[in-house]
Amino acid sequence: MKKTVVFMMVILLLLCSSCSEQNQKAQDMGKNVEAEALSFPYAEYIGHGRQEAFEALKGEGEFQESNLKGVYFLDHPVSILGRDVEVALEAGDYEEFTDTIYRTGYRLVIQNPAQEDFKWIKKIEEALTEKYGEKTTYPGLANTLSAVDSLEKLKELQQVSDTWAFSDDPVLEVDFETAYITNTDGAEVMTILVACQVSTTYLRNGGQEQVRAFYEKAQNAQE
């Protein structure tokens, strides 16, 4: 009888150990996926023609055109800090570079947002700062994530954003935008965008030639 009890205890310990290892592996895989997401793995296609980018990415899934002009969503979501978000590639025209990818990132629309949703936004902000360092948001702007400490404040400002340098190349930046609106039917909607993009700030401050060179280099790499 004692041998049977001891044997069963050993089996239970082995099962618990196995479950613990599997849970840890699952958690690690989740962390890796989310870490990769905030690295913007599709950023390498910025500056490439849309069709060529889609062809290169067909193993990832299918990008489908949305009702937003130039915005294409992947046919399955990814998880960031415990929430599923839509993966988007955005294409547009820049001088002679037509139908060219200029932004890649994630979108999430939340109906009637609650405090937990606001906490998630702040976690994303913290994660981006940890990964990319100090913000590069234009100094003096009032509508920034840093200025928002509550859902009520976000609702008051309606739209806030911040930016970070994506790499040593100043052409690319990480942009985090949140918009809070009330529809005509009274429903409150919060739209969240986390993206790697061609820097609009850089373009406004005379970086057109560098952006052109960036696009040329990207498209030459496709040939």
Q: Rg of the chain's alpha carbons, rounded to an integer? A: 22
Q: Which residues of 209-220 are buried (b: 16+ CB within 10 A; e: fewer)?
A: eebeebbeebee
Mean local confidence (pLDDT), 74-89: 93
| Residue boundaries of the structural domains of the chain | 1-37, 42-222
Q: How high is the pLDDT of residue 131?
A: 94
Compute the mean pLDDT over every residue in the chain, rounded to the nearest whole number. Answer: 82
Q: How high is the pLDDT of residue 223?
A: 66
* pTM for this model (two decimals): 0.80
Which of 25-34, 120-129, 206-215: highest mean pLDDT?
120-129
101 burial level (CB within 10 Å; 0-12, 13-18, 19+) = buried
pLDDT (tens digit, 9 = 90+) per residue, 121-178? Answer: 999 999 999 999 999 988 888 899 988 999 999 989 999 999 999 988 889 999 999 9
Q: Are 180 and 148 in contact (CB under 8 A)?
A: no
